Structure 1
């Protein structure tokens, strides 16, 4: 799989609890792909895309590194992305 719908990827990566919540998040304008606001839940993401997500008064910056056919547990979801914010914090602390 080389691409996946944005709402489906957000759900598989466990950014939100339900796919409908992912679609609502995108439609509300809280997701950017490579710096460009995306408001279509069906927009496709590919490996290497950087998602900036405004969620619960925080901002998450995730780089897409993989896709899943089904939604798995948290450890399976974690391999779908690199958390660029946490990587940046770790580099600053070292």
Structure 2
């Protein structure tokens, strides 16, 4: 399944053209690699990193949806990773500042 279609079916993007714009701007990552083409294939087991309004969400694709259905149906196709974790997904812990001692 194409990634732009998947983002629309999983209800992260309201329209497929919005998903294509996010991909074109380089905001989406698949398995740690920046997605640069809208027709890139997605399969179950892939990990997507999505920038949302106020956070970054990493999800693992469990199944490919067949349509843009209700939200509950869409949520059954993926699992959020690092939900509620103390460390940010992208950054990890901050490196120590220069001149400070490490414990």
- Per the normalisation by structure 1, the TM-score is 0.84
Work out which structure has the larger RCO, using CA pairs closer than 8 Å and 6 or more positions apart in sequence: 1
Q: Which has the higher strand share?
A: 1
Supply the distance in 2 between the matched residues of 1:76 and 1:25 (Cα, whole angstroms): 23
- Per the normalisation by structure 2, the TM-score is 0.77
2:18 is matched with 21
- Is 1:40 the equivalent of 2:46? no
Q: CA deviation at 1:54?
A: 1.5
Consecutive unaligned residues of structure 2, counting only runs of 5 or more, are: 87-103
- In angstroms, what is the RMSD of aligned CA positions? 1.4
Supply the distance in 1 between the matched residues of 2:37 and 2:59 (Cα, whole angstroms): 18
The structure having more radius of gyration, on CA atoms, is 2
Supply the distance in 2 between the matched residues of 1:75 and 1:57 (Cα, whole angstroms): 22
Q: Which has the higher helix share?
A: 1
- Is 1:78 the equivalent of 2:75? yes
2:55 is matched with 58
